[in-house]
Amino acid sequence: MRKIILATLFLFSLFLTTLLLTACTNQMAINSPEESESETVTSNNVLQLSRPELYLSLITENSTQYFQAAQLCGNWQSASGLSFVQAVHPLNFWVEFEEEESQDLLDNFIAHLSGIEGRIELQFSEDHLPRTINVWRWRAEFVGMASDVQPQDKSFVELDGHTFYITNDGYDYIYEITAAWLQGDSIYTFRINSGNE
């Protein structure tokens, strides 16, 4: 009987691990806001069934670039009650996809600030806006060094609604956005290159 219980627990944990990895991997798909199918019920009393995707616009004096944030696995309660946890730090995400065949995927999460300043506008794919949004950034020189960075290496970015402003100081930056809804949070990352290459 004990062996049956242990085997059942093992199989269940294997199932949950597979489900978590599948959920994290599936979040890498690239869709435009128009193509994204919303499973959200519009009532504020009903939970969303999937984590929203995050689309961004980098607006400068001369141009607008549209791109998407990579969705890392945040803590999320789905309708089935399963919770997903963060699998990768934003600074380490960029290292995991350095291979040449992954560069096209990464390019979807990068924008280039060629002017002096710009603003970034956030647009979530779901009808429900998050309760809170927090934005932080690191200089890109810290990519792959998540375990070595100090608290002072991470800077808080102030939001004005769903917009924040950036200036070209010659550095590339990795951004992390945490957005919280009723059933959990979702963590995103993207990169802004300075254009000073």
- Mean pLDDT, residues 119-144 taken together: 89
CA gyration radius for the chain?
18
- Mean pLDDT, residues 105-116 taken together: 86
Task: Copy the structure tokens of residue 123.
Answer: 């647009």
Write the pLDDT tens digit of every residue in 132-186.
999 999 998 988 888 888 888 889 999 999 999 999 999 999 999 999 988 788 8
Say whether pLDDT at 121 is over 50.
yes
pLDDT given for residue 29 in this prediction: 36
Task: Count the alpha carbons within 13 Å of 124 in the hemisphere toward its beta carbon.
Answer: 24
Task: Copy the structure tokens of residue 7.
Answer: 């085997």
At residue 120, φ and ψ (nearest 5 deg) are: -115, 125
pTM above 0.75, yes or no: no
CB-based contact 186:52 (threshold 8 Å): yes
Write the pLDDT tens digit of every residue in 76-87.
776 666 555 556
DSSP-derived secondary structure for 53-90 = PEEEEEE-SS-EEEEE-EEE---EE-TT--EE---S-H
Range with the poorest average pLDDT among 26-40, 160-174, 182-196: 26-40
pLDDT given for residue 18 in this prediction: 39
* 42: amino acid identity, one letter: T
